[in-house]
Structure 1
């Protein structure tokens, strides 16, 4: 099956570069290009693309505003490709929150064109397989998600849920003019666009300060790996953890600079402390460490507890940081005192590392297919027979606290 791609960028040079790269890939076809969201709107109606690539800095309407309007009325898997400064990294987080599947930094075209093109192909392929989990405003203003399942990948429908339909999969009686009306509502809904900065920020509970003291022997270490769709999945887990939750270390596949912005955003929503990992950070209850986008995160023993280490080693596959490197270090340093969690993502990063953790006595959890954006990494771990529990994303935080409580009770 050919993946139909629409490239949206105001630069004719970038449009040509992206088109040339994607058209060379087996199974990919760039069916159109657009210099701004208004042209893109019409192209979506007439061309019915499977995947969009989207710049954020566009004339007539920003890419972020377009994404926020498009997703609720006509969801299409979208890879954001833009230039990101420090401010732009915040925009990248907002794009992910609005429903983008991946974000790529255009700077990669100049820094290492081969790596950028490999990441682009990986991201578009992941997007083509994605089940969208669309942004949703809850009554208190906190962002949530609602699954929108793609044709051919529908799990059993949950009570009260309705699948979002894509072009070409409309029920009988729905015409092209209906689709056109839905997409053209983009221009009518501009006034409804709201920035994340307008949302009410969740009140942070007072978390215990990490002092670098040793972790209690009965306090487990939680290691989480995620990729495509992982930002929303991580938010679901971390916002459900209480201030005294076990220490957590995370690898989320993400370019440099973006991880600091991700940590800041999650910190504003969570009761636990969330920060980008630094060399020597203590891993203690109430603290979450996220691997920097250009370093491998590893765990080292420190007395009766653990500390974070950062390595500037080679990429493992396309990935730096890599989930496998984190899990490998956790298996060695924490063994049966760890809990491993593998979330949504394409490929198999983390599967071999989870097996090492499982063989070392750690408890292991994989996100289930129904709630994954891409059921790749968890599926590969399940195939290896190293997953103890397969759970929907909404149940994972509760399971972590249940296991932590059992260990604490057993140590008394």
Structure 2
């Protein structure tokens, strides 16, 4: 019998501790080994039984979650899920926690907390199962971006150009930091990029704004009808699907509601399939760290349509699920570590913006 996933819950809300414990107890493969109101209490409990996964609040008495997380990642990296409010202040802190090494986020409202958590029981279980597969070595190696954003004039020059080429990126667990490490290294003349990052609604706008401040390229949350042009990256909004289509000689994106695909909205498969159909061989597809198989079949369609396809390698992934499934389907031309992906994008962009094949 497989060993159960041991979970520690650290949250100053008794309601959160109770409801999350009940949700996880319903899964026979998960065991809650402790629940504490703050990290100081938790650390004493964890010395007896160290958890495989930690569910962590941010604002708590005696020690806040981000301080605890940084200490944890420096001393004993452990997959950690942030349980955060959707409020703007909480969202900002959540990105700081992701930068510090958190695997993913469970969002919680200020009102109706108990019923929300009860309705989200399956999502909480899946988040724990995903986190348990995370690579602690990668979590402890999170690095801050070093790129400096381009001046507006440089961005405007890039945006005046158009191209038949498009780059499509799909990622999930661990993807926020992976995307940051890639996008911050791209020049303003990079081909147009469309991205699906599995992320709750309301977080994608802040995530895009954060990246836009750090990057030489323009990064923004996609809006229906946005053009895909060099120097711009469009990130699918949380809770919406994004697809590529032609508008005359230009690529644009459609942003629309729809059913969950592979348990996700936005779905990488939805984006990749549209890119395969609309751009075909004029595309570069990249699948990065993430749990599950979303994007694998869409990447196979891109590959079969003649697109070049790349997967992030296992050693640099927080979770190797999505790239692994794409590789198994024969959808991937090249498997490379995360730190080589920017160079692959830059080289591909340089060839095609010069008109080379």
TM range (shorter): over 0.9
Compute the displacement of 1:371 (Å).
0.5
Matched, 1:396 2:323: no
Pick from 104, 107, 110 the counterpart of residue 105 of structure 1: 107
Matched, 1:233 2:234: no
Compute the displacement of 1:363 (Å).
0.8
- Equivalent positions of 1:87-236 (< 5 A) are 87-107=89-109, 116-132=120-136, 133-134=138-139, 143=144, 203-206=148-151, 207-209=154-156, 215-217=162-164, 220-236=165-181
Q: Matches of 1:136 and 1:13 in 2, distance apart?
A: 34
Q: Matches of 1:285 and 1:202 in 2, distance apart?
A: 18
Q: Matches of 1:213 and 1:75 in 2, distance apart?
A: 45
Cα distance change, pair 111–338 in 1 and its aligned pair in 2 (3 A): farther
Q: Which runs of 5+ in 2 are unaligned?
A: none
Compute the displacement of 1:203 (Å).
3.0
Tell me which structure has the larger Cα radius of gyration. 1
Q: 1:259·1:276 contact (CA, 8 Å) conserved in 2?
A: yes
**SS, match of residue 155 in structure 2:** coil
Between 1:63-72 and 1:279-288, the stretch displaced more is 63-72
Q: Encode CA deviations 1:93-116: one digit per residue, 9 max, x unaligned.
A: 111001100011113956755662
Between 1:229-238 and 1:397-406, the stretch displaced more is 397-406
Pick from 283, 286, 294 the counterpart of residue 349 of structure 1: 294
Q: Encode CA deviations 1:270-327: one digit per residue, 9 max, x unaligned.
A: 1111111111111110001111111111111122221111011011132111101111
**SS, match of residue 131 in structure 2:** helix
Q: 1:342·1:367 contact (CA, 8 Å) conserved in 2?
A: yes
TM-score, normalisation: structure 2: 0.92
Between 1:121-130 and 1:202-211, the stretch displaced more is 202-211
Q: 1:299·1:329 contact (CA, 8 Å) conserved in 2?
A: yes
Aligned to 1:19: 21
Cα root mean square deviation, aligned: 2.1
- Runs of at least 4 residues of structure 1 off by over 3 A? 108-115, 134-137, 210-214, 408-412
Q: Encode CA deviations 1:190-237: one digit per residue, 9 max, x unaligned.
A: xxxxxxxxxxx85311343389877223xx200000001111111111
Aligned length: 350
TM-score, normalisation: structure 1: 0.80
Q: 2:19·2:118 contact (CA, 8 Å) conserved in 1?
A: no
**SS, match of residue 283 in structure 1:** coil
Q: Matches of 1:97 and 1:307 in 2, distance apart?
A: 31
Q: Matches of 1:394 and 1:302 in 2, distance apart?
A: 34
Aligned to 1:59: 61
Cα distance change, pair 231–63 in 1 and its aligned pair in 2 (3 A): same
Aligned to 2:266: 321
Pick from 287, 292, 296 the counterpart of residue 237 of structure 2: 292
Compute the displacement of 1:367 (Å).
0.4
Q: Matches of 2:82 and 2:117 in 1, distance apart?
A: 17
Pick from 267, 279, 282 the counterpart of residue 337 of structure 1: 282
Matched, 1:248 2:249: no
Q: Encode CA deviations 1:147-180: one digit per residue, 9 max, x unaligned.
A: xxxxxxxxxxxxxxxxxxxxxxxxxxxxxxxxxx
Matched, 1:311 2:256: yes
- Equivalent positions of 1:76-91 (< 5 A) are 76-91=78-93
